[in-house]
Structure 1
Amino acid sequence: MIFCISFLALFFSSYTITPTSSTSLQDDFINCLHKNTNVDFSLEQTFFTPGKNVSVFNEVLESTAQNLRFLARSMPKPVFIFNPTDESHVQASIICSKKLGVHIRVRSGGHDYEGLSYVSEIEKPFIVMDLSKLRKINVNIRDNSAWVQAGATVGELYYRIAEKSKVHGFPAGLCTSLGIGGHITGGAYGSMMRKYGLGGDNVIDANIVDAKGKLLNRSSMGEDMFWAIRGGGGASFGTILAWKIKLVPVPKTVTVFTVTKTLEQDVGNKILSKWQVVADKLVEELFIRVIFNVAENNGSVIFKILYVTIWPNSDKRPSRHINWIRDMYSYMMPYVSSNPRQSYVNYRDLDLGQNMKNTKSNFKNAQVWGTNYFKGNFDRLVRIKSKVDPENFFRHEQSIPLLPVQG
């Protein structure tokens, strides 16, 4: 989210079942899965509920959650977690969640900054489909390509490439625990982007499940949708199962170095000023980034600036850190792009605005944050969304909205 596409006969009825409890919802979901996939699954290894074994449920929920503040007791939790072990399970899950009228959130690496892959403030009840067991990687050095399932991490992909070759690589992110499924949906930038562009620029094909539960590849989804899923943000157009990526040549030996200076040593911010002038003019093989760390490495800020604040679990006052980063964001306003102020979709920020619960007014509200993320491409993304998912099945607090109904 592999190697070949097989179409199953998948059917769903137009009526909706309304379960009476979380237990009956899980039972109905399981029964529906059995009817819509011919690949069996183990309940003990694929379904996790808070009622049956809360400690195991919490362990699975926390396993790939990167932002622990969204695991607080006050945050809404899924009714259950489903870990598909076969791609047909994902198809069946889409069909069954639609049939049962239950919202579904899809998680690959759990790096989304607002926790939207495992938390839902506006859609209740909801379930989480965790793709961490779909992590196969097939590297083909002969044709400089690889198929990688959505649950695999960036680090695993790099490792499997290195197993086959010391002179091949893939231009994606630095964080090894990033889920490749969601990473590429936001473009996927990294240290090789000056030479080879974004990860999304180096995708050859993709397997995705649409809102009808159909398995599509690049040919069957069409070039518009293929364009949208490689930068238009995750969980708006379908569920990614796998990417086919193009490998790029890299030297056997790569030089990496870090120069550390204090503010006292860099009088007048000469280093930063020099970096801004020369960074984009050096040879494409050289990538330089600047990081400002405050005391104890609790935060950092970079032309594309990432604002981060980190606090230990022992700190019971997260609001002060959040308020600090918001103050920093506001302070920087005169020095960054404006009209609109631009933001990176993989650094998701609900402070920019969010959708309400599947309402028709979402398009107007979304124009604000949508233009921040996508500028002029937002309108094209909306048109594609309206065509491939007209019922807005794939939605979250900042998913691409539908075109407003005319008349």
Structure 2
Amino acid sequence: MAMLKGLALALFVCFFSCYLTSVPSLASPDDFLQCLREKIPSELVYTQSSSSFAGVLVSSIRSPRFFTNTTVRPLCVVTPTDASHVQAAVLCGRTQGVRLRVRSGGHDYEGLSYRSARPEVFGVVDLANLRAVSVNQSETTAWVDSGATIGELYYTIAKDNSQLAFPAGLCPTIGVGGHFSGGAIGMMMRKYGLAVDNVLDAKLVNANGDLLDRAGMGEDLFWAIRGGGGGSFGIVLSWKVQLVQVPPTVTMFNIAKTIDQGAADIVTRWQDVGPSLPNDLTIRVIVQGQQALFQALYLGTCSSLVATMGDQFPELTMTSADCQSMTWLQSVAFISFWNRDTPVEALLSRTTSLSTYTKNKSDYVQSAISKGVWKDIFSWFTMNGAGLIILEPHGGFIGSVPTDATPYPHRSMLYNVQYIVFWQGDGGAAANTWLGNFYDFMGQYVSKNPRQAYVNYRDLDIGQNVVVDDVTTFDGGKVWGEQYFASNFQRLASVKAAVDPTNYFRNEQSIPPLAQGRK
């Protein structure tokens, strides 16, 4: 029976692939839904008329900004349990003119994995059921499905071997698929690089409904999916990653300094020290109110860390009393939940809360900001609606990799800045006004031509695609694309033109296909 089912799908793929270049320009929602019913088990497809539709849709929404009465919602949510279901969804969408958006963890800061910023008929493929993690201890590799969270990935890697780890982000509920698609910075990138620097293979369903691995997709597409942003080139179902070695015990500290304790001076000094410290040590900074919190992960012992800090960053006055020693997996939980006693099993939680609204933006700093300016920056955090900023140092291994090795181009920068504001209910006016004004103020001190941004901190304020004759224009995409990808943007557009020339996978900030003959 399974063989017959596989044969039927293969014939379906083969038959419809011949006609994909002539996708109708007008969507046929009813025919699309009927096609899904014929090819995918009905219990895996949730239409708007289903009593479970809202619950499934909200299951991975991380910001209530995108769950309102005015939100443009999908025609349906498909929750595949097998690659064949994803292939069928793509083929149904192509033949009936209904585009698909793809969600893994729902952390897209603009919600583009499950909503549209413009009126549009679309479906969502939610990968939450595709969440397996398979570790090969002898090879120190793992296959991880895109629907797994990074918390699940970390836990599965380290639960049987505390000296194996993977370099990626911090929030445990982030979905692997979206996270890796943007490059994935984290606390070990100075030692081991971005997550995508450690991706060995991937399995992807392309715009023709074909299931491809690295060999099948070719090196150009494999390059593009490792940092070129989600929702542009196909649906990546799983990733093969190279695991990394960590010591049995790592050391952390959280040291807070107020403005009266010299926070502005210490942050000024950190700009030079943070990116140049030994690769085993990463110190990020969180600025909120009149305080800077210096948070460190060191792949070594407390005594060694104290010596390094005394030699290279004495301004922070770190002592052995600041040390927190634990396993690497415990350190992930500690950073995520701010509590040493939080069990590592908490990393497996997928709990969603819609009580807090957020808005994020990002920058990169290429030249250190002066102490006088930092004093001005701290004054912004006394204002009504003020949020926080997180500074992530680069340097180390990440800075030794060529900027075109992956689509992530920001490797030579000193550090990344993430701006975050929070509010409850309808109280977002002050927060958003503060964020916009502060972001404008920072423009004179950050990277320029272009002013660079991190695609995983997606921000529609920096630009949206322009669509002409149902195709996203390259020039319209450049407005935002070169901020995320700098000189790598044109290569991404060339790959898009080769693998999805009819622009099936499209959203407000998806890579546009490079027009034929365009240089």
TM-score relative to the length of structure 1? 0.90
Conserved? CA contact 2:472–2:512, under 8 Å: no
Aligned pair 1:110/2:222, yes or no? Answer: no
Query: Aligned partners of 1:48, 1:306: CA distance in 2, in Å?
Result: 35
Residue matched to 1:37: none
* 202, 207, 211: which one aligns with 1:206: 202
Residue matched to 1:279: 274
Render the CA deviation track for 1:68-113: whole Å, top value 9, x for unaligned: 2011111111111110111110111111111111121110011111
Residue matched to 1:248: 244
Residue matched to 1:3: none
Query: Aligned partners of 2:281, 2:218: CA distance in 1, in Å?
Result: 36
Residue matched to 2:417: 305
CA RMSD between the two structures: 2.2
Residue matched to 1:148: 144
Residue matched to 2:37: 30
Render the CA deviation track for 1:259-289: whole Å, top value 9, x for unaligned: 012222226x111011111112211100000
Tell me whether 11-20 or 223-232 shows the greater mean CA deviation: 11-20
Query: Aligned AA for 2:49?
Result: G
Aligned length: 388
- Structure with the higher fraction of residues in strand conformation: 2
Conserved? CA contact 2:27–2:98, under 8 Å: no
Query: Aligned AA for 1:385?
Result: K
Aligned pair 1:336/2:446, yes or no? Answer: yes
Conserved? CA contact 1:150–1:179, under 8 Å: yes
* 470, 493, 499: which one aligns with 1:388: 499
| Matching of residues 146-295 of structure 1 within 5 Å | 146-266=142-262, 269-294=264-289
Query: Aligned AA for 1:58?
Result: A
Query: Aligned partners of 1:82, 1:256: CA distance in 2, in Å?
Result: 42
Query: Aligned partners of 2:436, 2:287: CA distance in 1, in Å?
Result: 17
Query: Aligned partners of 1:248, 1:174: CA distance in 2, in Å?
Result: 16
Query: Aligned AA for 1:73?
Result: N
- Are residues 172 and 27 of structure 1, via their aligned partners in 2, closer, same or farther at CA, if it must alter by over 3 Å? same
Query: Aligned partners of 1:89, 1:196: CA distance in 2, in Å?
Result: 35
Conserved? CA contact 1:360–1:404, under 8 Å: no
**SS of residue paired to 2:252:** coil
Alpha-carbon offset, residue 221 of structure 1 = 0.7
Conserved? CA contact 2:386–2:431, under 8 Å: no
Tell me whether 280-289 or 298-307 shows the greater mean CA deviation: 298-307
Query: Aligned partners of 1:235, 1:18: CA distance in 2, in Å?
Result: 20
- Are residues 72 and 319 of structure 1, via their aligned partners in 2, closer, same or farther at CA, if it must alter by over 3 Å? farther
**SS of residue paired to 1:160:** helix
Query: Aligned partners of 2:178, 2:27: CA distance in 1, in Å?
Result: 33
Alpha-carbon offset, residue 133 of structure 1 = 0.2
- What percent of counterpart residues are identical? 46
Alpha-carbon offset, residue 17 of structure 1 = 7.6
Query: Aligned partners of 1:20, 1:280: CA distance in 2, in Å?
Result: 50
Residue matched to 1:51: 49
Conserved? CA contact 1:355–1:366, under 8 Å: yes
TM-score relative to the length of structure 2? 0.71
- Are residues 22 and 310 of structure 1, via their aligned partners in 2, closer, same or farther at CA, if it must alter by over 3 Å? same
Structure 1 unaligned runs (5+)?
A: 1-5, 35-40
Alpha-carbon offset, residue 210 of structure 1 = 0.6
Query: Aligned partners of 1:368, 1:197: CA distance in 2, in Å?
Result: 28
